[in-house]
Amino acid sequence: MKVAVIGATGMVGNVILQVLEERNFKIIELILVASEKSVGKTIFFKGKEYKIVGLQDAVNSKPDIAFFSAGGKTSLEWAPKFADVGTTIIDNSSAFRMDADKKLIVPEINASELTKDDKIIANPNCSTIQLVMALAPLHKKYQMKRVVISTYQSVSGTGIKAVQQLENEMNGIDGDMAYNYPIHRNAIPHCDLFLENGYTKEEMKLVREPQKILNDRTVAYTATCVRIPTSGGHSESVNIEFENDFDVNVVRELLNETNGVTVQDSIETNTYPMPLFAHGKDDVFVGRIRRDLSQKNTLNMWIVADNLRKGAATNAVQIAEYLVENKLV
């Protein structure tokens, strides 16, 4: 494949390159794109030096696949231009996720929906991906009614400026603020912009995106998203009400049998998922699996994943792998 990475110098762009190398994705030509101020600079990939080019030069190169990770504004303006020259775009922004004409894909769940006609494919929100990876097998067996989500999200989900803010505060250094408040020794119940309904954009992504991915708009979702002082890895406390009763041991078996999910759930050995140990891994980790004693047919569990890998870069590369394997590009 002739591959372009748009936003190659950003946090997710860097991890996309790392995952492409780790998974030995077959590339005959690599086109790296970043902001105008970065054009001409170089990035190493598989021991070879590549110069960063501008967006129009990348379009003119007519790549087979383009990974977009440069923000929604760039995606809205430039993804259609790439599509017009025959490129298949895998977009990591929120620009196309809820577009009725664009597929929102987690490969283990709904890659079979993809066709050759899908030239712009949306990569879901990082918190959504790890959530639906755990929900999908349970929904299929027990039929979900309502899902209550509380997230504990790392600063890397905001970007490099937020990571730097945390590091500065830990070291007593004054610097630029990505948040309205200090994040070190704090928890900020504010991820993304507030909307008129009182929820943030991040919370509404967790309400809407799972319905589209699981192709079931009858399930009700509600979410509260909190930023915490961890540098990587998102955690979620999830409460699920089902139509049908379940056996907790069967739930654990279902999750353990799900490709891309690892169960870490032993109160005897204090084994449960944590962002510290999810770092750099592609699986979604699930633990603290237990029945909600306050009402029938309801389950509690704790979900953790590396938000830059399965939550972004790895999921995008897996989509590309599916396209290639099934000759859709």
Active site residues: 126, 234
Six token digits for residue 262: 């690892």
The residue whose two tokens read 């087979």 is: 64
Six token digits for residue 235: 């955690």
Q: Is 172 exposed, middle or buried (0-12, 13-18, 19+ CB in 10 A)?
A: exposed
Residues in contact with 263: Cβ distance below 8 Å, sequence separation at least 6, in sequence order: 252, 255, 256, 285, 286, 287, 289
Six token digits for residue 25: 């994705």
User: Quick count: other Cβ atoms within 10 Å of Cβ 73?
Assistant: 10
The residue whose two tokens read 């664009």 is: 102
SS3 98: coil
Residue 110 sits at the vertex; the CA angle it makes with 320 and 80, to the nearest 5 degrees, is: 50
